[in-house]
């Protein structure tokens, strides 16, 4: 299937109610607002494809492009691996102007594949097309087919050049590449009726490792977690799972739907953020497995585990309730976090004064409406000056967002906590919810905020303000030690050279 036909098929996603509500003309425009030419904010299709596929940890990811394409996108997610680290090795064909002019791109790609195969012997190599190589017409699919025959390993073309659309489109094209070239290409020898797939889970900061033990306690086995901490063999055999949980439908709804159509694997969308959402996810997974032939005893075991885990989580959270109840949070994120984190925070008495729905599906927005009971707290996009005004006027006690907006909060002298992919703390599952609340408590009650909000030690004209200094010097000032002399001299000088506070 050509790239144009593949994009048209993705834009015609029947699993998306919003997409099906459009007319034929509007549907061709896709799901996201086109980016301004030359703008980098939001990511391109190549970036989106790499985000979905790079956390497959034992695969070599080869970027067919000039060096900058790989340099700008390498290691931009906080996904974690429990084993192989080949995915963190950067591979690129590093095309130059001479390669492009002389048409050496395909030959250089083939040589790069051979070098990776000989040096690293990976189970598979993923080859990514980019703007430059797509524009000059390099046929990466033909090169990948020939290389696979020559070197005896899967070489998967990922045809998602940046200019075809947004990061979200690239997510979906990555899912199509898995469907076309990976899933179903190997057969497992250990199939059980308790195998499950988790789609759209990236294992950011290793947070899926906080959920996996819960599933194992119930006897469930992760056939494939795509893409978080995945192995190529896991993905290739994912078609033998009995049920699928979709964590982020915005990214991979097409993958979940087509796996259900081809292999009869039922799926549902859920979240591991928050106590009640984690419990609901476990219940729905258990219910799907029982419907697929697993023992009904699984339902009772699930309820017992939920009761035990919820009791422990609530006991741990009670200590934070007096310090956080009534605190106001501004949430500037999107996607699944726009509703799952909202629900999680409300469970301990935190008030949500606003949440972004910029990257949320219609289903996400409907969930938010039901949770907040007030559409006025939802906003598609808020300008930085509006975010600043809201924080500076103390309409919120803390902002949860990605790293790009942290300086708005810091400039307003308000606490901020990273909730996006760059974060360093896992927030999934019961223990993850306790960790999220603990980090919010640390951020809000950090004594630094009281310090930075103190008045400047000089007035508007640069003259020193009155400062009370408690010292017990000897009666003879001349006998004061040198450090005290220096400190008094500092207080007696003007602030002309200090700048504004």
What is the Cα–Cα distance from 223 to 190, expressed in whole angstroms? 10
Residue whose C-alpha is closest to residue 116's, from 62, 68, 182: 62
pLDDT at 489 over 50: no
Of 153 and 18, the one with more pLDDT: 153
Cα–Cα distance, 252 to 409 (Å, whole number)? 32
Token output for 267 = 């799926």
d(C-alpha 88, C-alpha 140), whole Å:
22
- The pLDDT assigned to 472 comes to 54
Model pLDDT for residues 60-90, shown as the tens digit of each residue: 999 999 988 887 666 666 788 888 889 888 8
Angle between helices 429-444 and 337-346 in degrees, nearest 10? 80
User: In whole angstroms, what is the distance from residue 18 CA to residue 140 CA?
Assistant: 34
Can you tell me the distance from the alpha carbon of 371 to that of 342, in angstroms, rounded to the nearest whole number?
Answer: 8
Rounded to an integer, the average pLDDT of 191-197 is 95
| Category of 152 on φ-ψ map: left (φ > 0), alpha (ψ -120 to 50) or beta | left
Whether the predicted model's global pTM rises above the 0.85 cut:
no
Q: What is the reported pLDDT for 358?
A: 60
- pLDDT per position as a tens digit, 457-473: 787 777 787 655 555 55
Residue 499: is its pLDDT beyond 60? no
Backbone φ, ψ for residue 51 (5° rounding):
-60, -40
- Secondary structure (H, E, C), 292-327: CCCCCHHHHHHHHHHHHHHHHHHHHHCCCHHHHCCC
**Would the pLDDT of 492 be above 70?**
no
Report which of 247, 190, 248, 187 is spatially closest to residue 221, judged by C-alpha positions: 190
Q: 111 pLDDT band (50/70/90 cuts)?
A: very high
Q: How far apart are CA 346 and CA 367, in angstroms?
A: 14
Whether 41 has a pLDDT exceeding 60, the answer reads no
- Residue 215 structure tokens: 């599933």
- b/e map 414-447, b = 16+ CB within 10 Å: bbbbbbbeebebbbbbbbbbbbbbebbbebbeee
Q: How far apart are CA 344 and CA 277, in angstroms?
A: 8
* pLDDT(14) > 80: no
Which tokens sit at 256? Answer: 């979940």
Helix (H, G, I), strand (E, B) or coil at 269: strand
**pLDDT tens-digit map of 410-438:** 899 999 988 877 778 888 899 998 999 99
Of the two residues 354 and 297, the one the predictor is more confident about is 297
Share of the chain above pLDDT 90, in %: 44
Order across the sheet with 243-246: list the strands.
221-227, 195-201, 243-246, 267-269
pLDDT, mean over the chain: 82
Q: Higher model confidence: residue 102 or residue 72?
A: 102
Query: Residue 493: what pLDDT?
Result: 47
Residue 494: predicted pLDDT = 43
Kindly state the DSSP code that residue 35 receives in the 8-state scheme: P
DSSP letters of 99-133? HHHHT-HHHHHHHHHHHHHHHH--S-EEEE--HHH
Average of per-residue pLDDT across 361-389: 67
Q: Which residues face 60 on adjacent strands?
A: 125
| pLDDT of 339 | 62
Check residue 200 and give left, alpha or beta (phi > 0: left; psi -120 to 50: alpha): left
Kindly state the average pLDDT of the residues 378-395: 79
Q: What is the pLDDT of residues 153-189, one digit of tens each?
A: 999 999 999 999 888 899 999 999 999 999 999 999 9
Q: Average pLDDT, stretch 191-220?
A: 93
Which range, 24-28, 57-61, 82-86, is most confident?
57-61
The DSSP annotation for 418-452 comes to: E-STT-SS---HHHHHHHHHHHHHHHHT-THHHHH
Residue 486, phi-psi category: left (phi > 0), alpha (psi -120 to 50), beta (remainder)? alpha
pLDDT band of residue 195 (cuts 50, 70, 90) is very high
**pLDDT, average across residues 276-285:** 93
Phi and psi at residue 398, in whole multiples of 5°? Answer: -160, 150
Asked if pLDDT for residue 368 goes beyond 70, the answer is no
Confidence of residue 401 (pLDDT cuts 50, 70, 90): confident
Which residues does 159 contact at the CB level (< 8 Å), separation at least 6?
Answer: 3, 6, 129, 134, 140, 141, 173, 177
What is the reported pLDDT for 486? 44
């Amino acid at each position: 299937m050509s790239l144009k036909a593949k994009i048209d098929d993705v834009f015609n996603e029947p699993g998306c109610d919003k997409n099906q509500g459009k007319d034929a003309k509007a549907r061709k425009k896709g799901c996201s607002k086109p980016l301004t030419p030359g703008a980098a904010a939001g990511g391109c299709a190549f970036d989106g494809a790499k985000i979905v596929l790079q956390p497959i940890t034992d695969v070599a990811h080869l970027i067919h492009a000039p060096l900058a394409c790989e340099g700008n996108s390498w290691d931009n997610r906080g996904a974690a691996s429990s084993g192989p680290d080949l995915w963190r090795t950067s591979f690129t064909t590093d095309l130059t102007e001479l390669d492009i002019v002389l048409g050496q791109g395909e030959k250089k790609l083939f040589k790069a594949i051979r070098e990776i195969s000989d040096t690293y012997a990976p189970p598979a190599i993923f080859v990514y097309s980019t703007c430059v190589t797509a524009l000059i017409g390099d046929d990466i699919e033909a090169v990948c087919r020939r290389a696979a025959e020559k070197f005896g390993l899967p070489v998967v073309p990922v045809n998602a050049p940046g200019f075809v659309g947004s990061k979200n489109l690239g997510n979906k094209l990555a899912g199509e590449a898995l469907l076309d070239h990976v899933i179903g290409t190997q057969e497992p020898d250990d199939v059980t009726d308790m195998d499950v797939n988790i789609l759209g889970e990236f294992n950011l900061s290793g947070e899926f490792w906080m959920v996996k033990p819960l599933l194992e306690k119930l006897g469930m086995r992760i056939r494939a977690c795509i893409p978080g901490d995945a192995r190529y063999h896991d993905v290739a055999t994912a078609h033998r799972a009995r049920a699928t949980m979709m964590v982020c439908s915005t990214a991979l709804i097409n993958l979940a739907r087509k796996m259900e159509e081809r292999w009869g694997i039922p799926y549902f969308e859920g979240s591991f953020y928050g106590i009640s959402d984690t419990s609901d996810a476990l219940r729905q997974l258990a219910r799907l497995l029982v419907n697929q032939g697993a023992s009904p005893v699984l339902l009772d075991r699930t309820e017992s585990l939920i009761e035990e885990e919820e009791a422990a989580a609530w006991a741990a959270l009670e200590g934070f309730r007096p310090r956080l109840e009534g605190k106001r949070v501004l949430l500037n994120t999107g996607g699944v976090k726009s509703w799952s984190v909202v629900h999680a925070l409300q469970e301990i008495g935190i008030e949500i004064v606003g949440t972004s729905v910029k990257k949320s599906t219609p289903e996400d927005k409907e969930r938010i409406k039901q949770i907040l009971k007030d559409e006025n707290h939802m906003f598609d996009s808020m300008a930085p000056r509006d975010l600043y005004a809201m924080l500076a006027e103390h309409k919120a006690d803390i902002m949860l967002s990605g790293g790009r907006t942290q300086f708005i909060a810091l400039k307003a002298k308000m606490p901020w906590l990273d909730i996006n992919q760059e974060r360093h703390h896992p927030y999934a599952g019961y223990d993850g919810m306790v960790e999220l609340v603990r980090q919010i408590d640390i951020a809000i009650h950090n004594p630094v905020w009281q310090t930075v909000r103190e008045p400047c030690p000089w007035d508007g004209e640069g003259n020193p303000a009155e400062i009370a200094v408690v010292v017990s010097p000897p009666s003879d000032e001349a006998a004061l030690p040198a450090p005290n002399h220096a400190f008094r001299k500092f207080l007696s000088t003007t602030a002309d050279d200090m700048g504004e506070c």
